[in-house]
Amino acid sequence: MPYPTLPGRKFEYDVGGGSVYSGNDINDITTALTTEQMARLNGIDNTNPLITFDGWYEGKVRTIWFFLPEKYVVSGLGMMHRVSGNNPVISIAGSSDSTNGLDGTWINATLPNGAIPLSMVDDDSWRDSIQPCTFSEAVKVIRIRYNVSYTSGASAMYIYTVNIYGVKADGEVPDDILFLDDDASGDPEFIRDLDFGDRPEGTTVTHRIKLFNSSTTKIANNLTLSLIDTDFTFSMDEGATWVTGATITSLAPQGSSSSIIIKNTIPPPTQMLGPRAPRFEVTIGSWS
């Protein structure tokens, strides 16, 4: 059965210039997450929780702040967690003007599907149970509060992943590298992650993309391309060679790269099939 359509593009905050903090409550930031911890939180693993709590006859509140490098129009959250106890609650708010996670104006999220489910730990919960989540305006900071209230018995909190989906707000960071869909008419920018869809083992599918320099004044120099997944490769010479890494010397203002073909080969039968979340990373050496 096909997975639901993705609500937007996943923001890779662990490599995209974001930062994440945690604390005991919304007015108590205590810890900055390391790059490794952010990568875990932004991943798809459901076996290695980042935040844990088990207790009897006691409650616990943990809050996570996501500081994004630009304002985003948020559309969904892919989450892996298990929270239990006496009326546990997961609440979400965002701010367009907060500087430290404590100041600024905060807007409660709109959750069209209702409250965030308390148990989301299946192997593909991050993909087939993405929760619609919007705000009344673009936000730059997102705050998620997990509250396990005092209970007459056991309570628990296991937080594995939080993936943020959406698009960059208009006018934010004009000097950037965008991904274009070269398989679509007019090469539009991707508004959601590329999904290769359901298909049998032993098959191969390709998609064409381009890179676009959105700056109107600056040249992007020394672009490093990395495709991070053992079953994915790409070609910049129409399939003559397939690689997992390459470089582009420069892209002029408003310039596009040549066509890049991405290939996903499903291994032959007896190999494991399932949802994947590979990354195609582009690092810009400098702007001039």
* CA-based end-to-end distance of the chain: 48
Asked, for residue 2, whether it belongs to a domain, the answer is no
How many whole angstroms separate alpha carbon 89 and alpha carbon 118? 8
Asked, for residue 218, whether it belongs to a domain, the answer is yes
User: Same structural domain for residues 47 and 97?
Assistant: yes
Q: How confident is the model at residue 33 (pLDDT cuts 50, 70, 90)?
A: very high
Beta strands in 169-219 (DSSP E): 177-181, 204-213
The answer to whether the predicted template modeling score (pTM) of the entire model surpasses 0.85 is: yes
| Residue 115 in tokens | 């409250």
- Domain of 281, CATH number, reads 2.60.40
User: Same structural domain for residues 95 and 122?
Assistant: yes
Percentage, residues of the chain above pLDDT 90: 76
Q: Above 90 in pLDDT, residue 171?
A: no
Residue 189 and residue 212 in contact, taking contact as beta carbons nearer than 8 Å: yes
Asked, for residue 4, whether it belongs to a domain, the answer is no
How many whole angstroms separate alpha carbon 282 and alpha carbon 223? 6
User: Same structural domain for residues 151 and 212?
Assistant: no
Pairing of strands 204-213, 177-181: antiparallel
User: Same structural domain for residues 191 and 213?
Assistant: yes
pLDDT average, residue stretch 86-98? 93
User: Same structural domain for residues 151 and 276?
Assistant: no
Pairing of strands 154-168, 51-56: antiparallel
Residue 262 and residue 227 in contact, taking contact as beta carbons nearer than 8 Å: yes
Q: What are phi and psi of 136, to 5 degrees?
A: -75, -10
Asked, for residue 3, whether it belongs to a domain, the answer is no
pLDDT for res 261: 98
- Give ∠ CA 8-275-185 in degrees, rounded to 5: 45
User: Same structural domain for residues 121 and 194?
Assistant: no
User: Same structural domain for residues 51 and 185?
Assistant: no
User: Same structural domain for residues 92 and 197?
Assistant: no
Q: Which domain holds residue 99?
A: 9-168
> Which residues lie closer than 8 Å to 17 by C-beta, 6 or more apart?
69
User: Same structural domain for residues 142 and 191?
Assistant: no
When mean pLDDT is compared across 21-35, 66-80, 216-230, 270-284, the lowest value belongs to 270-284
| Residue 109 in tokens | 């999220």
Helix (H, G, I), strand (E, B), or coil: what is residue 157?
A: strand
Mean pLDDT score across all residues of the chain: 92
> Which residues lie closer than 8 Å to 171 by C-beta, 6 or more apart?
none
User: Same structural domain for residues 109 and 149?
Assistant: yes
Asked, for residue 117, whether it belongs to a domain, the answer is yes
pLDDT average, residue stretch 10-35? 93
pLDDT for res 273: 67
Last residue of a domain, one of 168, 202, 222: 168
How many whole angstroms separate alpha carbon 202 and alpha carbon 9? 28
Strand arrangement, sheet containing 279-287: 245-251, 220-228, 279-287
| Residue 112 in tokens | 């069209």
pLDDT for res 99: 95
Asked, for residue 125, whether it belongs to a domain, the answer is yes
User: Same structural domain for residues 74 and 113?
Assistant: yes
Domain count, the chain: 2
Q: Above 90 in pLDDT, residue 111?
A: yes
User: Same structural domain for residues 109 and 193?
Assistant: no
Last residue of a domain, one of 168, 199, 217: 168
- Domain of 125, CATH number, reads 2.60.120.260
pLDDT for res 276: 81
